Amino acid sequence: MPAPVAPSTARAFGPALRIIGVGFRREPRPLAVAVLGSFVYGVMTVFTARVIGHLVGTIVTPAVRVHQITSAQIWTIVWELGIVVLLNAIGVVCRRVGAGMAYYNLIAHYRRQVTRQYLRLPLAWHHRHPSGQLLSNANADVEATWSIFQPLPLALGVVVMLVVGVVEMLRIDVWLALIGVLVFPTLFAVNAVFRSKMSPRATRAQQLRGEVSEVAHESIEAALVVKAMGREEQETERFAERTNELRGAAIEVGRVMGIFEPVIDAIPTFGTLAVLAVGTARVQAGDLSAADVVQVAYLFALLAFPVRSFGWVLAGLPVTLVGWTRIDNVLSAQGSMAYGDRALPADGSGALSMRAVDFSYEGGGTSDLSSKDSASVGGAQVLHGVDLDLAGGSLTAVVGPTGSGKSTLTNVALRLVDPDSGEVLVDDVRLADVRRHGIPAAATLVSQETFLFDDTVRGNVTLGGPYDDADVDRALRIAQARDFVDALTDGLDTRVGERGATLSGGQRQRIALARAVIRSPHLLVLDDATSAVDPTVEVAILDGLRAEAQRRGSRSTTLVVAYRLSTISLADTVVYVERGRVVDTGTHAELMDRCAPYARIVSAYADDAQDRADAKAAAGQDVQPVDAR
Amino acid sequence: MSTSTEERSDTRTRHLGDTESLGTWAILRRGLTLSPELGRGFSITLALALVATLGQVLVPIAVQQTTDKGILAAGGPDVGLVLRLVIVVGLAVLLTSVASYAVNLRLFRSSESGLATLRIKGFRQIHDLSMLTQNAERRGSLVSRVTSDVDQISKFVQSSGLTLIISSAQILIATALMLFYSPELTGVVWVCFVPLFLLLRKFQARIGRAYLAVRERVGDMLGAVSESVVGATTIRAYGVEDRTAERIDVAVEAHRRAAITAQVRTVSAFVSGQVVAGVTTIAALGVGTILAAHGRLTIGELVAFLFLVNLFTQPVQTATENLNELQNAVAGWRRVIGLIDTPADVPDPGEGGVDLPPGPVRVQLQDVGFAYPGGAAVLHDIDLDITPGSRVAIVGETGSGKTTIGKLLTRLMDPLTGSVLLSGVDVRRIRFSSLRSRVVLVPQEGFLFDASLLENVRFARPGVSEDEVLLAFATLGLGDWLDGLPGGLATAVGQRGESLSAGERQLVALVRAYLTEPDLLLLDEATSAVDPATEVRIQRALERLAAGRTSIAIAHRLSTAEAADEVVVVDRGRIVQRGAHEELVADKGSVYARMHASWSAQSS
Ligand SMILES: Nc1ncnc2c1ncn2[C@@H]1O[C@H](COP(=O)(O)OP(=O)(O)O)[C@@H](O)[C@H]1O
Ligand SMILES: Nc1ncnc2c1ncn2[C@@H]1O[C@H](COP(=O)(O)OP(=O)(O)O)[C@@H](O)[C@H]1O
Ligand SMILES: [Mg+2]
Ligand SMILES: [Mg+2]
């Protein structure tokens, strides 16, 4: 994926200013405190030099001349300088705490916004964006955007500092001020050149740092496969390649920094020397006192360092822009699902029908957050004109080869994704007309890939719904999860870890089943939801589901994606799909009769066993008689 | 961590070392041995850095000389003298600038080279760790040891490290010069600063704790945010967007608070330094004026002294921040070194080892016992002898220990007691180069890389030709499936294979295994999400491939067992039955007969 190229500082200036404006509107109070604090700091920094100059002129020099000093004079020194020091410190506290609060408030706010948007945007949008990129958007991009607010208030204070400083110099002497007027803009210009040279190199290093981390992430997640196939060397080479590129890029950054840092350091020093030379001449001409010269020299020393903050702001602008572009593309992403205002009937039976449903995953695989969403590039069509009719209270099995679109079909059935064309109805209500959260209230999916939250067992089953422990207990029992949950150290209150890491695959699946069962949905969709469960356990689960339906006396509709004959034979109807098309619908017996590919899949094990038995028998007759039963 | 005798006898590494016991110096020394580039030519860099620091004190000296000998010269201001002085100092500044350039470049060169070496060593070590050690850590925390932890070190070496050195030199030189101008005033300055030096430690500890809390909150927050992305389907299916949002809000808010606390502590430390610096300036000016009034100091010297105070206080003010960086760098270093120094507990015998004897592999387990670190025994006295070239199925309930046996056979882990022999050789003596190319395990979750299908398959055998890959797909009966994909072999599979269906990902893993042509193939539920017809087809193809080779299949679909030469039934960590399918079924009431009854009830 082509990484976004950071725009040059000059090009970034205008747009970045607008982003800064957004930040100011969002966090006006802390930023006002920070900027005011910074102004105080700027003025007080200049005043430090002024007060020292003033004290040297009015107290020190006379005192030295008369070889005598009064305690009143000492007090003047203490309180005049003391006030300046105190105000300066208050300014710094306001500036840094204000800027820090604004920054952290902003990133917290935008993190919430971005994740809200992730939760709001439809699944189709998620399919288009790699999850790694979405995570780094909520993390690194948000930080990058607002990190400009760390040096910005300082830089604004420095503007004030420079203005006051130059006024101060003018007040003392035009010629010395002229040196300042030459030195500080030069410093600024050198800084700008520095940043423009630096920005592309820094961006490149940053980008490589991201790539190194991506390779490490992927490779370490693949650790088991890498080990099992003995690919450690190959992976290390892949990592080393990126790492060495990063090293090269970082050294380039160092080279530019190595040149500019001493130059930026030296400029104010030369300014000070010039002040000394010119100042001496002016004293000789009788226009200035020694104290004046010292004061201006001191001013140069004080101003030299803060002026660098301009450099930090300039460097930050392109970073801000790139980060914001990505955030903004998430925040302004369209294509949210439109909801109607209808509810699914409370006493419905979960009858499901699909009319001429087409569905495609959008092409190009995934798209980059740095560019605006170009919806629908027209990818591979996965479902073609699917028609389905599940009578209320019926059990329907969907059977089809791997990759034929079964999981996709289950997602369409619950409107997790919208079909390209055609419509889906539950209890005769078009799903597109149902209000937000109306579908989960009546229909539930247990997906093929189990997802558990980093929460307790109870939290994972109830998901915050109004269920008591008796409900949870019953659901766990039906899902055959009671026994192992009881055996966990804290029972229902055991935390399952990141994505349920502390549980085995079969255990995770059973928790996910309990989560569906507890909701007593009208329409229950199981997508190969027991693949990691032993056959014995699976039978018990299916029996439990049936008993539960009878107990409630309700008619609920079930759609299962399954291969096992035990499941299929329970089904009233079987739907056979292949390459995204419904090839045949009927009872198991009917399909066995007339749909050869279906028969091949369903009886694959039996046929295989038969073939082998035959082969064995044939071979066995030559060697030894087998006990044929 | 518990230290019962039972657990203490288990010497296997559970977690990566944190080298907690090593002090800062020991860490730095070890760090230097691991990245020798860092130390190379360091004394030259240091000498150059000292020259660069001298540039800082040139200005105060120039000011003093100008004031005393130039402006306040006995015969009125002496412009000529000042001009000469300014030119000499100017040249000296140029010289120190060049030194400073050299220091920067040298530092970047040596640190980036040294740290690249460290990163690569660390990365390699992660892959060399045993599976158990890898699993004991969060993936993210392993990644950070070769990324952000090393970045932390590089940041320190390149800026704060140099700053610390220059600052120390600056403090020393400033003190020396101050002593030269006025020992009394120097005493005043130090008296003002001693309390700050003492406080600094305390500040630093508080700040360190605050940043530790921030790091922990960042981990929680990233975890919460990732749920909104990884759990997208489940969240929508259950309509729990609001609940998820609340969970994220809690984590985001906790991070915000922790970060602001850390910021406030940092600022208060910095400002304390600033106030002390101000007080010092006041004291120096006050006392200095008294001294000057008594003729113990010239005005020029007093002014120069004020410049020196500035030079002295600046590094002390920023010291909290730089020391903080030092602490972070040492912590980062500690973690990377902890990783690198963790002994690989399933080591490659390397040169000292032997190659796996050619031909079909005989598999023997002798008295094998195993327990996961800190857990109860999961395998007890396993004895197993698999004839070379046979097809074996291992069956048993979830959690009975099948996968564990598979991992011992392929030496992803070593047994706690007993031994595993392949073709009569203890696996611990077989070189990985030989073992990994001839013994292949296909786990249930075959990981796919964010690349094309072809590149993913090539992972198993780099350099294999496209035709061979196509042939492999065809042989496994997957030609039709491949043709159905929009881009064929060039189809991008997305991160972790996100753009493929769960079953399709397993197909790719099987093609990989097929291409390696192993002498011992071990499938651990490798077809659990694949449809039966495809599964049978693949199984047949693999059998043809495995003809004359040994293959072991772990499966809960008993069709696999029916097809095997021999079935091994595992129950609660013991082998309870083994033999041909027919024999085992005939043993009424046995574990296998029971499993088979419920399987047949389902599949016919
Ligand atoms: N997120 C996705 N992006 C692009 N294509 C996908 C995605 N998910 C699935 N597909 C493709 O859609 C087809 C159907 O997938 P799926 O419905 O998961 O199949 P099944 O569940 O029947 O195995 C497959 O060819 C698969 O590669
Ligand atoms: N990484 C692990 N850490 C601790 N215990 C584990 C780990 N992996 C498996 N176990 C435990 O070891 C036992 C056997 O597991 P496993 O070999 O995976 O069983 P099977 O493959 O037969 O389902 C189970 O009780 C399981 O909980
Ligand atoms: Mg599927
Ligand atoms: Mg297993």
The burial of B316, by beta-carbon neighbours within 10 Å (0-12 exposed, 13-18 middle, 19 or more buried), is given as buried
Pocket of ligand 1 contains residue A361 by CB under 6 Å? yes
User: pLDDT grade, residue A358 (50/70/90)?
Assistant: very high
| A118 contacts A327 by C-beta, under 8 angstroms | no
> pLDDT at residue A371 above 70?
no
A209-213, A572-576, A616-620: which range is least confident on average? A616-620
Annotate B424-465 with DSSP letters as a single string. Answer: TEEGGGB-HHHHHHHEEEE-SS----SSBHHHHHHTTSTT--
Q: Do B260 and A104 touch (CB under 8 A)?
A: yes
Q: How far is the CA of B423 from the centre of ligand 3 (A)?
A: 40
Q: Percent of chain A having pLDDT more than 70?
A: 93
What is d(CA A498, CA A494) in angstroms, rounded to the nearest whole number?
Answer: 13
Lowest mean pLDDT among A484-493, A513-522, B69-78, B238-247: B69-78
pLDDT for position A213: 84
Nearest protein CA to atom 3 of ligand 2, as residue: B372
The whole-angstrom separation of Cα A32 and Cα A23 is 11
Which range is most confident: A130-144, B39-53, B408-422? B408-422
Tell me which residue in A254, A279, A379 faces B104 most closely, judged by beta carbons: A254
Q: What is the pLDDT of residues B573-593, one digit of tens each?
A: 999 999 998 899 898 888 889
Rounded to a whole number, what is the distance in Å from the CA of A321 to chain B's nearest CA?
Answer: 23
Nearest chain A CA: its distance from B366 CA (Å): 22
Neighbours of ion ligand 3 (CB under 5 A): A 407, 448; B 501
Question: Which residue of A lies nearest to B279 if distances are taken between CA atoms?
Answer: A82
* For residue A481, pLDDT beyond 80: yes
Going by alpha carbons, the residue nearest to atom 1 of ligand 1 is: B499
Q: Please tell me the pTM assigned to this model.
A: 0.84
Read off the amino acid at residue A448. Answer: Q
Give mean pLDDT, residues A44-61. 87
What is the tens place of the pLDDT at every residue in B412-436? 999 999 999 999 999 999 999 899 8
Helix locations, B182-238, DSSP H: 183-230, 232-237
3-class SS at B416?
A: coil
Q: Which two tokens stand for residue B300?
A: 């020029």
Strand partners, A558: A395, A524
Q: Between B299, B462, B601, which is nearest A64 by CB?
A: B299
Tell me the one-letter amino acid at B383. Answer: D
Q: Which of B192, B186, B255 is nearest to B220 (CA)?
A: B255
Instruction: Check CB contact under 8 Å for A111 and B77.
Output: no
Q: From the CA of A510, how many Å to the nearest CA of chain B?
A: 12
B315/chain A closest Cα distance in angstroms: 13
Among the bound ligands, name the one nearest to the CA of residue A398: 1
Token pair of A490 as six digits: 């804290």
**Can you tell me which atom of ligand 1 is nearest the CA of A411?**
17
Chain A nearest-CA distance from B305, in A, is 12
Computed over every residue of chain A, the mean pLDDT equals 85
Please state the CATH superfamily assignment of the domain spanning residues B361-603 in this structure.
P-loop containing nucleotide triphosphate hydrolases (3.40.50.300)
CATH class given for the domain over B23-181+329-344: mainly alpha
State residue B603's pLDDT score: 60
Alpha-carbon radius of gyration of chain B: 35
From A9-23, A46-60, A226-240, A542-556, the region with the lowest mean pLDDT: A542-556
Chains A, B: CB pairs < 8 Å: 507
Q: So what's the pLDDT on residue B3?
A: 35
Residue-level pLDDT at B18: 59
Of A222-226, A469-473, A550-554, minimum mean pLDDT range = A550-554
Q: How far is CA A580 from the centre of its chain?
A: 33
Domain boundaries, chain B: 23-181+329-344, 183-296, 361-603
Q: Which phi and psi angles does B354 have, rounded to 5°? A: -125, 165
Residue range B288-336, pLDDT digits in tens:
999 888 888 888 888 888 888 888 887 777 776 777 778 778 888 888 8
Contact: A402, B303; criterion CB under 8 Å: no
- Give the mean pLDDT of B81-98: 91
Confidence of residue A628 (pLDDT cuts 50, 70, 90): very low
Dist CA A71 CA A66 (whole Å): 15
Q: Whose C-alpha lies nearest to ligand 1, atom 5? A: B499
Please report which ligand is nearest the Cα atom of A406.
1
Instruction: Give residues with Cβ within 8 angstroms of B103, minimum separation 6.
Output: A258, B45, B48, B49, B52, B162
Nearest atom within ligand 2 for CA of residue B396: 22
Stretch (H or E) spanning A608: helix A604-623
CA of A610 to the centre of ligand 4 (A): 27
Is B515 in CB contact (< 8 Å) with chain A? no
Give the span between the Cα atoms of A235 and B128, in whole angstroms: 12
Ligand 1, atom 25: closest residue by C-alpha: A403
Q: Spell out which residues line ligand 2, taking CB within 6 angstroms.
A: A 504; B 135, 372, 375, 378, 396, 398-404
- Report how far apart the first and last C-alpha atoms of chain A are (Å, whole number): 61
- CB-CB under 8 Å, B225 with A138: yes
Q: Do A280 and B77 touch (CB under 8 A)?
A: yes
Sort out which chain B residues have CB atoms less than 8 A from A537's CB and list them: 398
pLDDT of residue A2: 38
Q: Which two tokens stand for residue A457?
A: 């067992």
Question: Under a CB-based contact definition with an 8 Å cutoff, are residues A394 and A573 in contact?
Answer: yes
Q: Is pLDDT above 60 for B452?
A: yes
Q: Provide the residue ranges of all domains of chain A, joining segments of one domain with +.
A: 7-331, 352-604
- Reported as a pLDDT band with limits 50, 70 and 90, residue A8 is low
- Check A96 against B486: CB less than 8 A apart: no
Question: Chain A within 8 Å of B91 (Cβ-Cβ)?
Answer: no
Taking residues A472-480, report their average pLDDT: 91
DSSP letters, A372-426, are: ---------EEEEEEEEEE-TT-EEEEE--TTSSHHHHHHHHTTSS--SEEEEEE
What pLDDT does A53 receive?
A: 83
Cβ pair A258:B102 closer than 8 A = yes
Token pair 């595992």 is found at: B570
pLDDT at B21: 66
Q: Which of B436, B450, B502 sits opposite A229 (nearest CB)?
A: B436
Tens of pLDDT, residues A393-445: 888 999 999 999 999 999 999 999 999 999 999 999 999 999 988 898 889 99
DSSP state of B160: I
Q: Sheet harboring A395-399: ordered strands across?
A: A443-446, A523-527, A557-561, A395-399, A573-578, A581-586
Give the right CATH number for A7-331 from 3.30.930.10, 3.40.50.150, 1.20.1560.10, 1.10.10.10.
1.20.1560.10
Q: Is the CB of A400 under 6 A from ligand 1?
A: yes
Distance CA A299, CA B307 (A): 11
Q: Which two tokens stand for residue A449?
A: 């890939």
Shortest distance, CA A254 to any CA of chain B (angstroms): 5
Nearest atom (ligand 2) to Cα of B405 = 17
Average pLDDT over residues B358-380: 90
Instruction: Starting from the CA of residue A405, give the closest ligand.
Output: 1
pLDDT surpassing 90 at residue A235: yes
- The CATH class for the domain spanning A352-604 reads alpha beta
* Probe target for ligand 1 pocket from A129, A361, A402, A447, with the most ligand atoms within 8 Å of CB: A361
- Tell me the ligand closest to B500's alpha carbon: 1
pLDDT for A375: 41
Residue B400: list chain A partners with CB under 8 A.
none
